[in-house]
């Protein structure tokens, strides 16, 4: 604003009006989240006026057994859903990228459907499906999470496919052919040539799948039995009727977890793309 | 690209699992849902799939037409506000200094990675009766009231908290809050590819910034605008959580009605019919986007 240099026509970002617009948008996006995090440390039940710093709501959350069980359930589901989605998604990506086969466009279109079908429709479809096949509801723990995990894999793996496939587009097929000419088997060529190239896509896809699974409420809401409570479902029942400092504390923990995960993934991805860049030159 | 026949075993090894999974846990459940939409309740848990169209007939009763209309209107308004708010932001990111660009993009994307439920809850803490919005407004109110006293005027009455939560306003605000990144990212992707010399030429030839924006930038960025609109509209139309938590009794959207059929009302066939109507609406939007994209490509060629 106070710069001496005149603003060039295309330097829109240096115009104060646009800067103010961006600043307001960012305020709109972040102020509620920041307020929520700050007030999780507020020593007041009514949670309006700042009364002093406390961490007692965090201790309360950590001693809340149902909440902790729900969190453990969610993390377990997310872990398994990510692993299965990663394998299925990568296979589908290689299949679509490498082969021409009958019904290809139909299969490709169907694979994109879980991304666009409204969550509520897929959720109720899963509810009917599991009711129809008589999926047992009283299995012992990790298996009791099976239905939710299956539902999560179904809507996560097409995202992995999408990400990995866009990464595969930049692969130079001659590298694979060279490996095979030098005596590598199909599997060796895949493991030592194609897989390293796919790695950044796999990391991005895994992070996407993990976040999507951890984030999901609607589909879980319809597939969870009476005895399996996941973290979002538990938070939903807490949020539904009241605004309490405990919910603020829980939310802050989850926000921190996502920020840390995203940072790690972005860091890994940057390092890997830099490395692979060096490898090519 | 190679034909699958040349390496049948490799193809079978990688294709079987994903296709089988997709078929078993996606195509079949949706097919069952579709079949249910032609059924009727007989008894408490038994459903007879008789091929009746009664559920669809019920879905076009005025009550449900009104809810559909309302959902479309709310989603359209949300999309429109996102476009108005998001377009300048996308322009700012496009023309930002290279050092700032990744940070601005991260700033838009980070809320997208944050749990939807938590973002909705954060809005609840802002909008509720004793929330931050009402507190700030009350503080301003008292301030102006005091200022009036200083100026020798009658003080204003006591501050009445506004009802910002549990109404349609909160639903639209919540949907905009949640879906803004969906709009900004495709807009940015389209604007970033734009040939800047065209904008410069337009400005050099005497068109103003607004005219350049409307006649040069907007048509060239049309694919991005269309995909942004579709990507925002579809999830907004099917939104369940936002109207459920932020809306009042009159802000029910179609997803809430579907949920009620499956949980409280226990009318699965009718819920299935409503779900499929929502899905058809989604598919129509996608088909519209695809046809627009084809048309734009033809015009370019």
A108–chain B Cβ distance below 8 A for any pair: no
pLDDT of residue A281: 35
Identify whether B276 is part of a domain.
Answer: yes
Q: Which residue has the higher pLDDT, B35 or A239?
A: B35
pLDDT of residue A191: 86
B135 and A235 within 8 Å at the Cβ level: the answer is: no
Highest mean pLDDT among A1-10, A105-114, B49-58: A105-114
DSSP-derived letter for residue B207 is: -
CA distance B62 to A281: 66
Identify whether B187 is part of a domain.
Answer: yes
A48–chain B Cβ distance below 8 A for any pair: yes
Provide the residue range defining the domain that includes B222: 62-128+164-300
pLDDT-based confidence at residue A81 (cuts at 50, 70, 90): very high
Identify whether B51 is part of a domain.
Answer: no
A245–chain B Cβ distance below 8 A for any pair: no
* Segment B152-161 mean pLDDT: 75
CA distance A185 to A188: 5
pLDDT of residue B89: 92
Helix, strand, coil percentages for chain A (3-state, nearest 5)? 75, 0, 25
Identify whether B37 is part of a domain.
Answer: no
Report the predicted TM-score, pTM, of the whole model to 2 decimal places. Answer: 0.87
Interface contacts (A, B; CB < 8 Å): 231
B126 and A214 within 8 Å at the Cβ level: the answer is: no
B33 and A128 within 8 Å at the Cβ level: the answer is: yes
Give the CA-trace dihedral at B126, B132, B136, B138, to 10 degrees.
100
- Report the CATH number at residue B199: 1.10.3720.10
pLDDT of residue A275: 62
* Segment B178-198 mean pLDDT: 89
Number of domains in chain B: 1
pLDDT digits (tens, 9 = 90+) for A111-161: 989 988 999 999 999 999 998 888 887 777 778 888 999 999 999 999 999
pLDDT digits (tens, 9 = 90+) for A228-279: 888 888 888 888 867 778 888 888 888 888 888 878 777 777 776 666 554 4
Domains and CATH numbers, chain A: 79-280 (1.10.3720.10)
Nearest to A149 by CA among A81, A219, A221: A81
Identify whether B260 is part of a domain.
Answer: yes
Q: Which residue has the higher pLDDT, A57 or B80?
A: B80
Say which residues have a Cβ less than 8 Å from residue B240's Cβ, sequence separation at least 6: A119, A120, A218, B253, B255, B256, B259
A215–chain B Cβ distance below 8 A for any pair: yes
- Looking at chain A, which residue has its C-alpha nearest residue B2? A99
B114 and A100 within 8 Å at the Cβ level: the answer is: no
Say which residues have a Cβ less than 8 Å from residue A64's Cβ, sequence separation at least 6: A246
pLDDT of residue A245: 82
Identify whether B135 is part of a domain.
Answer: no
pLDDT of residue A79: 94
Say which residues have a Cβ less than 8 Å from residue A78's Cβ, sequence separation at least 6: A152, A210, A213, A214
pLDDT-based confidence at residue B282 (cuts at 50, 70, 90): very high
Lowest mean pLDDT of A191-205, B88-102, B131-145, B168-182, name the range: B131-145
B122–chain A Cβ distance below 8 A for any pair: yes
B89–chain A Cβ distance below 8 A for any pair: yes
DSSP-derived letter for residue B263 is: T
Identify whether B120 is part of a domain.
Answer: yes
- Check whether B13 has a pLDDT greater than 90: no
CA distance B257 to B210: 43
- Check whether B156 has a pLDDT greater than 90: no
């Amino acid at each position: 604003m106070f710069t001496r240099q005149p603003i060039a026509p295309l330097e829109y970002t240096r115009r104060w009006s646009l800067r103010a617009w961006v600043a307001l948008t960012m305020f709109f996006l972040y102020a509620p989240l920041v307020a929520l995090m700050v007030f999780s440390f507020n020593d007041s039940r009514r949670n309006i006026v700042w009364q002093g710093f406390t961490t007692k709501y965090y201790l309360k959350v950590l001693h809340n057994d149902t909440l902790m069980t729900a969190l453990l359930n969610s993390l377990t589901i997310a872990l398994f859903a990510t692993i299965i989605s990663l394998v299925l998604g990568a296979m589908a990506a290689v299949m679509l990228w490498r082969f021409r086969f009958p019904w290809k466009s139909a299969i490709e279109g169907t694979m994109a459907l879980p991304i666009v079908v409204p969550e509520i429709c897929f959720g109720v479809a899963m509810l009917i499906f599991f009711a129809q096949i008589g999926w047992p509801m009283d299995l012992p723990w990790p298996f009791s999470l099976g239905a939710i995990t299956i539902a999560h894999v179904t809507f996560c793996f097409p995202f992995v496919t999408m990400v990995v496939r866009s990464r595969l587009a930049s692969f130079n097929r001659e590298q694979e052919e060279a490996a095979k000419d030098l005596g590598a088997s199909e599997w060796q060529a895949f493991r030592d040539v194609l897989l390293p190239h796919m790695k950044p896509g796999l990391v991005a896809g895994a992070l996407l799948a993990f976040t999507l699974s951890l984030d999901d409420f609607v589909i879980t809401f319809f597939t969870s039995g009476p005895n399996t409570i996941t973290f979002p479902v538990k938070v939903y029942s807490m949020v539904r009727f009241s605004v309490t400092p405990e919910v603020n504390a829980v939310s802050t923990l989850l926000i921190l977890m996502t920020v840390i995960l995203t940072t790690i993934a972005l860091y890994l991805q940057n390092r890997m793309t830099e490395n692979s860049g060096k490898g090519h030159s | 690209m190679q034909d699958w026949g040349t390496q049948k075993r490799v193809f079978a090894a990688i294709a079987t699992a994903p296709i089988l999974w997709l078929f078993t846990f996606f195509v079949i459940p949706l097919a069952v849902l579709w079949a249910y939409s032609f059924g009727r309740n007989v008894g408490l848990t038994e459903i007879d799939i008789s091929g009746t169209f009664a559920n669809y007939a019920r879905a076009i009763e005025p009550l449900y037409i009104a809810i559909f209309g309302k959902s479309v209107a709310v989603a359209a308004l949300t999309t429109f506000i996102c476009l108005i708010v998001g377009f300048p932001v996308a322009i700012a990111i496009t023309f930002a200094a290279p050092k700032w660009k990744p940070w601005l993009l991260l700033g838009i994307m980070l809320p997208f990675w944050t749990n939807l439920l938590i973002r909705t809850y954060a809005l609840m803490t802002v909008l509720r009766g004793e929330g931050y919005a009402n507190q700030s407004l009350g503080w301003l109110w008292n301030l102006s009231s005091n200022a009036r006293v200083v100026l020798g005027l009658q003080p204003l009455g006591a501050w009445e908290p506004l009802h910002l939560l549990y109404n349609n306003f909160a639903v639209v605000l919540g949907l905009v809050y949640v879906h803004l990144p969906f709009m900004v990212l495709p807009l940015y992707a389209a604007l970033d590819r734009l040939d800047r010399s065209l904008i410069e030429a337009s400005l050099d030839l005497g068109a103003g910034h607004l005219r350049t924006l409307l006649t040069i930038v907007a048509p060239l960025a049309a694919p991005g605008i269309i995909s942004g609109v579709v990507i925002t509209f579809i999830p907004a139309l099917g939104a369940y959580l936002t109207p459920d938590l932020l809306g009042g009794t009159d802000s029910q959207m179609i997803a809430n009605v579907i949920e009620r059929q499956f949980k409280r009302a226990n009318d699965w066939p009718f819920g299935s019919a409503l779900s499929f109507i929502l899905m058809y609406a989604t598919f129509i939007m996608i088909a519209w986007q695809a046809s627009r994209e084809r048309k734009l490509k033809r015009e370019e060629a």
